[in-house]
Amino acid sequence: MKRTPHLLAIQSHVVFGHAGNSAAVFPMQRVGVNVWPLNTVQFSNHTQYGQWTGEVLAPEQIPALVDGIATIGELGNCDAVLSGYLGSAAQGRAILTGVARIKAVNPNALYLCDPVMGHPEKGCIVPAEVSDFLLDEAVAVADVLCPNQLELDSFCGRRAESLEDCVAMARSLLARGPKAVLVKHLAYPGRKAEDFEMLLVTAEGSWHLQRPLLAFARQPVGVGDLTSGLFLARVLLGDSWVAAFEFTAAAVHEVLLETQACTSYELELVRAQDRIMHPRVRFEARRLAL
């Protein structure tokens, strides 16, 4: 029997609704991965409500928890680490130490960094020091990086001008360490208004994918976390980068369709669970000759 992969997921938890681990853990489990959730913050709700309660995990708790897993002899079973929303730069540094420790016992373990940065316009609030940590330190350690457009622009210090430019910018990140860069949402001048576009860049090439842009009264949150989580889960289950990319786009689209049908602000993950596992739609990633 094929072994079930294990994934340490280090990101936010919200008591109500879905963002961070609260958006990604259940879908990753639903597609067949054992998830070890480590919550960087526990907030009442995601920050785009404009107010929340709760607290940030003390950074020393991260090595303490990794230590506990090592003590029971399970650390070598960790096949991947995912990091997302961080409450402080110190937490980020503790995660990189944890990644090094896991790679020492399992050299094949992957580290996927979703570089969640603040987005003041959208109301995504992240401490400024976290962005600096992601830009300077995390990128050099990550095997996979999953920025959105704003985050890609921040890594490159400029705004993307075209699709070709986005590809060049994502490629420039490969030179800094990652083996794959998944841009979860492209936003460049001149793109088609009716599509939602994504990009995958690896050493083997670049792939572009488009799915329909759905209308929402308020943009749902946690879509990025769902995207990076499912992508890593499928890679661990044996998909190629491109197959994982296509699967993720389809499964996320199914969740958004259900969310739209319910006119819900929060992602309808429970209602969409069967379609996360077996999406009805398929979006083909088109290889770019760039």
Ligand X SMILES: Nc1ncnc2c1ncn2[C@@H]1O[C@H](COP(=O)(O)OP(=O)(O)O)[C@@H](O)[C@H]1O
Ligand Y SMILES: Cc1ncc(COP(=O)(O)O)c(C=O)c1O
Q: Which of residues 238-267 bind ligand Y (CB under 6 A)?
A: none
Answer yes or no whether residue 220 interacts with Mg ion by CB under 5 A: no
- In one-letter notation, the amino acid at residue 167 is V
- In one-letter notation, the amino acid at residue 213 is L
Residue 61 marked as a ligand binder: no
Residue 47 marked as a ligand binder: yes
Q: Which of residues 126-165 bind ligand X (CB under 6 A)?
A: 148-149
**Closest distance to Mg ion from the beta carbon of 224 (Å):** 3
DSSP state of 75: G
Strands 6-14 and 34-43: parallel
Q: Where are the alpha helices (DSSP H) in the chain?
A: 21-30, 61-71, 89-105, 128-133, 139-141, 149-156, 163-174, 223-236, 241-261, 273-277
Q: Are the C-beta atoms of 88 and 129 separated by less than 8 Å?
A: yes
Two structure tokens written together for 117: 């940065």
**Closest distance to ligand X from the beta carbon of 99 (Å):** 21
Answer yes or no whether residue 147 interacts with Mg ion by CB under 5 A: no
DSSP state of 87: S
- Which of Mg ion, ligand Y, ligand X, none does residue 20 bind to, with CB < 5 to 8 Å depending on kind? ligand Y
By beta-carbon distance, which residue lies closest to ligand X? 224
Answer yes or no whether residue 12 interacts with ligand Y by CB under 6 A: yes
* Of residues 79 and 151, the one with the C-beta less far from ligand Y: 151
Residue 122 marked as a ligand binder: no
Answer yes or no whether residue 224 interacts with Mg ion by CB under 5 A: yes
The C-alpha angle 136, 138, 140, rounded to 5 degrees, equals 80
Q: How many other C-beta atoms lie within 10 A of the C-beta of residue 261?
A: 11
- Which of ligand X, Mg ion, ligand Y, none does residue 213 bind to, with CB < 5 to 8 Å depending on kind? ligand X
DSSP state of 135: I
**Closest distance to Mg ion from the beta carbon of 280 (Å):** 26
Give the number of residues in contact with ligand X, rule: CB under 6 A: 14
Residue 198 φ then ψ, to 5°? -135, 165
* Of residues 97 and 219, the one with the C-beta less far from ligand Y: 219
Q: Which of residues 259-278 bind ligand X (CB under 6 A)?
A: none
Reduced to 3 states (helix: H, G, I; strand: E, B; else coil), residue 74 is coil
In this structure, what is the dihedral angle of CA atoms 64, 68, 69, 72, given to the nearest 10 degrees? 160
Residue from 5, 98, 220, 229 touching ligand X (CB under 6 A): that is 220
What is the Cα–Cα distance from 251 to 84, expressed in whole angstroms? 19
Binding site for ligand X (CB under 6 A): 119, 148-149, 184-185, 196, 211, 213-214, 219-220, 223-224, 256
Binding site for ligand Y (CB under 6 A): 12, 14, 19-20, 43, 46-48, 85, 116, 124, 221-225
Binding site for Mg ion (CB under 5 A): 116, 224
Residues contributing to the annotated binding site: 12, 47-48, 114, 151, 184, 211-214, 225
